[in-house]
Structure 1
Amino acid sequence: MELQPVPDPTGDPFFDALRRRHPDVDVVLLPPEPPPADPDAVVDEDLPGAVLARVATLAEDLWAAAARDSDAVPEARMVYGDGPGAVRAASRVATRRDDGFHVLVALRHELETHGWAVTRPPGAVERIEGHLDDLTVTASYVEGTGALLFRLTSGSLTVGLDRARELTRHPGGGR
């Protein structure tokens, strides 16, 4: 990418004055960021429920394959997504196990077998992260405590502010 000096005014009084007073200084102005997604651009009314059902089923299948003897069951719900009026489906299991590392290995194998792109983020905690289309799986295991966390999330869906509040509301006033 080649930068071209622009002799014309930028339209910004601050930068125009800066360029006049310091012609020897290179000033780089980036184009403005695109506006955020229109909160009124709402997805189909039934789509969040279908995405939640898909995430719940997939999470149950992955968890059952990776932790065959587990009594824990993934809990699925809608959570806030990226930006105002957006939600995403999320399913998770938080448990304690002595064989958590083996569960991560089995989960990684299951994900890779089904075409997921799987990585191990750096750090002291054993973790894996997998991506397939708009889905993300994260799992981590802390050997000293036996804490194992598995989470599957969908991509963000714009549903509007009121609908997002309604979908993320939980019994007992929780979020």
Structure 2
Amino acid sequence: MSEANPGRLHRVDPSLLDDDPFWSVVRRRHPDLDVVVLPDASTGPDAAGPPASVDEVRRAAAALQETWRGIRPVVAEHADPAPPSIRWQQAEGQRCLVLKKAVTGIGQEAGTELLQRLFVHLGEQGWMLHPGGRDGLPVLRATDGQVAVEAIAGPGATVVTLTSVPLAVTSELAPEVVQAVLDDLRTEVASWE
């Protein structure tokens, strides 16, 4: 136990790692090494950061809306006219606005072409682009620092997901305000279809 972290760090039985698929192999191959498992920093009292203000929540929604407005014409060439789904996603004391559009029935080849067009469009806007693959499927990841875009071209659907910056939305920010921002974003995006 450390004086700087009283009660937080302590020695545990090394067999604690025996069931872990990664660390058990490390321990077996290098028994002379000490493995130190630190508490998850995301669970500490300051993990979520300061609470988001109403203005920050609205700015995150506006950035998501602006991004969708820019890529919608590219996606609309292949998609049905139904608006994308929009929801809050919560993890580790933070929330992100998530807009998701599944483009079905176009096949993987046309989906890959859609990713290429998104790549060109976002690249022209100065976004940081990360094309790649996952499980044999083409993937495009991009960000402008305010919104992250991930597009995956699969044989059944090409799925385009936009995610806002993570926000520490606490109980101090009235739930009705958070819901109103989400409802306003849904109404605005649906009006473009």
Q: Secondary structure at the match of 1:157?
A: coil
Task: Name the aligned partner's letter for residue 92 of structure 1.
Answer: K
Instruction: Name structure 2 gaps, 5 residues minimum.
Output: 12-31, 184-193
What's the Cα RMSD here?
A: 3.8
Q: Percent identity?
A: 17
Say which one has the larger Rg: 1
How far off its partner does 1:118 sit? 1.5
For the pair 1:109 / 2:120, whether they are aligned, the reply is yes
Instruction: Name structure 1 gaps, 5 residues minimum.
Output: 1-8, 16-24
For the pair 1:90 / 2:98, whether they are aligned, the reply is yes
Q: Which runs of 4+ in 1 moved over 6 A?
A: 30-33, 168-171
- The answer to whether the Cα contact below 8 Å between 1:60 and 1:74 also exists between their aligned partners in 2 is no
Alignment length (residue pairs):
154
Structure 2 CA distance for partners of 1:158 and 1:26, relative to 1, 3 Å: same
- When you count helix as a share of all residues, which structure comes out higher? 2
Structure 2 CA distance for partners of 1:168 and 1:78, relative to 1, 3 Å: farther
Q: Secondary structure at the match of 1:122?
A: strand
Structure 2 CA distance for partners of 1:138 and 1:39, relative to 1, 3 Å: closer
Query: Which TM-score applies when normalising by structure 2?
Result: 0.61
- The answer to whether the Cα contact below 8 Å between 1:60 and 1:73 also exists between their aligned partners in 2 is no
Correspondence 1:1-175 to 2 at 5 A: 10=2, 27=34, 35-37=44-46, 41-68=50-77, 70=79, 71-80=81-90, 82-84=91-93, 86-96=94-104, 97-98=106-107, 99-123=110-134, 124-143=136-155, 145=156, 147-161=157-171, 163=173, 167=178
How far off its partner does 1:164 sit? 8.4
Structure 2 CA distance for partners of 1:163 and 1:14, relative to 1, 3 Å: closer
CA deviation vs aligned residue, 1:116-161 (integer Å, no higher than 9, x gap): 1212233311211112213210001113x2x110011111111214
